[in-house]
C-alpha cells in the first residue's frame, strides 16, 4: 500500500518561506511522477508544481513561478516544495500526489496516490 505523508506546513508571514516535504512509502518512489497541488475551500484543486520520475522535468503553476521550487530525493523517497516570498493568496491546504509512469501531467484525476494534506497559512 502506497502512503504519502506531507509535513512542513504552518503559519508564516508575508514574504516568508516554508519547505514542505512529502515522504512516500510502500511503492517504488523512483518510478513515480510527483506533484504538489493546493486547495482552498470552495475552489478547485490547483496544480502548484510537478516533477518527473527522474527530476529532469518540472512544471510550475503561473502563480508560483519564480517563488516555488520542487525537488526530489529518490534515495530518501521524498519530494520537496521550497516556497519563498509567500503571499496571502498562497494560503491553502497543500497536497502531494504520485502517479506511476513518465508522463508529466497537471491533471489531478491522473494521480492515483494522495497525501492527507498540510495547511499553509500566510498572514499579512
| pLDDT confidence band for 54 (50 / 70 / 90) | very high
For residue range 70-99, list pLDDT tens digits in order.
999 999 999 999 999 999 999 999 999 999
Q: What percent of the chain has pLDDT over 90?
A: 94
Distance CA 122, CA 84 (A): 11
Looking at residue 102, the DSSP 8-state letter turns out to be S
Distance CA 62, CA 120 (A): 19
| pLDDT confidence band for 63 (50 / 70 / 90) | very high
Amino acid at each position: 500500500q502506497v502512503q504519502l505523508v506531507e509535513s512542513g506546513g504552518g503559519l508564516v508571514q508575508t514574504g516568508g518561506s516554508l519547505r514542505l516535504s512529502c515522504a512516500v512509502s510502500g511503492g517504488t518512489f523512483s518510478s513515480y511522477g510527483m506533484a504538489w497541488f493546493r486547495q482552498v475551500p470552495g475552489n478547485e484543486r490547483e496544480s502548484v508544481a510537478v516533477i518527473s520520475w527522474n527530476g529532469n522535468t518540472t512544471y510550475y503553476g503561473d502563480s508560483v513561478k519564480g517563488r516555488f521550487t520542487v525537488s526530489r530525493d529518490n534515495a530518501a523517497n521524498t519530494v520537496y516544495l521550497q516556497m519563498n516570498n509567500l503571499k496571502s493568496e498562497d494560503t491553502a491546504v497543500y497536497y502531494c500526489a504520485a502517479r506511476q509512469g513518465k508522463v508529466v501531467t497537471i491533471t489531478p484525476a491522473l494521480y492515483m496516490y494522495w497525501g492527507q494534506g498540510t495547511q499553509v497559512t500566510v498572514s499579512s
